[in-house]
Homo-oligomer: A and B are copies of this chain.
Amino acid sequence: MSEKKTLLGRPVETEGVPNLYEGSPVVKWKAPEPGIDNLGLHSWDTFAIPGVGEFDVEFDGYVRVVRSPATDEEWAGAEVYTNLIEMHMTGASEELGTITVTLNPEYLSAGQIRTPFDPYAGEGPAAKACRMAVGCMFDIPKLGTRLFNREPVILTIDDVRSIPPAGAPGKGQIYRMLPLYDVRTPWDEPTAYLTSLKFNMGGYLPAERFQ
């Protein structure tokens, strides 16, 4: 079902699923047909390097997310499973130089959108919760290093009113510090830690961006 070494969630079929680009509708309170969402992403990450310091880096780029069929036609009962099939984010800081974040090819980065167990109890439809467990590679040429995480970064979006949750703010659920290892010395102590991550899910990008 998946050739990845480590599955961080449930695999989603990509074959025959259409790519969705700029101009695709984002409809509130409606479970959509399967699709590959090509979306913008913006994030604000903080890295701590022991003995060196903490560094805030702002990233911009895109993700490609494949969505499963919804488990129910009605919004209320619908669950949707997702796999992150591509990510490309770049950021820069004076001290660390340019950083490029991509997916770790050994991990299946995966998630889901479903109604939480403590949903909004007022009138009208209940918003859903979105979560994605992600394995990344952080290329930092200025430091001559390429880092990866073993604990997944858990990206969450609350108050999800449409699928995809285009335009919604989200958070990386990092408790204090998430260790990052150097690919050249994977058995050594972590080289750095991710200590904070906030993001903003963008909208559909033009197809030209991916050609």
B154 touches A151 (CB 8 A): yes
B189 touches A71 (CB 8 A): yes
A150 touches B133 (CB 8 A): yes
Look across to chain B and name the residue whose beta carbon is closest to the beta carbon of A110: B150
Q: Which residues of B contact A188 (CB under 8 A)?
A: 10
A25 is an interface residue with CB less than 8 A from chain B: no
In the assembled complex, the CB of A77 is this many whole angstroms from the nearest CB of chain B, namely 9
B8 touches A5 (CB 8 A): no
- Candidates B1, B5, B112, B177; contact of A179 at CB < 8 Å: B112
A184 is an interface residue with CB less than 8 A from chain B: no
Give the docked Cα–Cα distance between A1 and B186 (Å).
10
B5 touches A176 (CB 8 A): no
Main secondary structure of the interface of A (DSSP, over half): loop
B117 touches A177 (CB 8 A): yes
A8-B150, A9-B151, A133-B150 known; A117+B179 contact, CB < 8 A: no
Give the docked Cα–Cα distance between A173 and B11 (Å).
24
A154-B175, A175-B154, A175-B156 known; A10+B189 contact, CB < 8 A: yes
- Candidates B9, B181, B190, B193; contact of A150 at CB < 8 Å: B9
A54 is an interface residue with CB less than 8 A from chain B: yes
Q: Which residues of B contact A176 (CB under 8 A)?
A: 116-118, 129, 131, 156
A79-B189, A181-B10 known; A175+B1 contact, CB < 8 A: no
In the assembled complex, the CB of A11 is this many whole angstroms from the nearest CB of chain B, namely 6
Look across to chain B and name the residue whose beta carbon is closest to the beta carbon of A49: B117
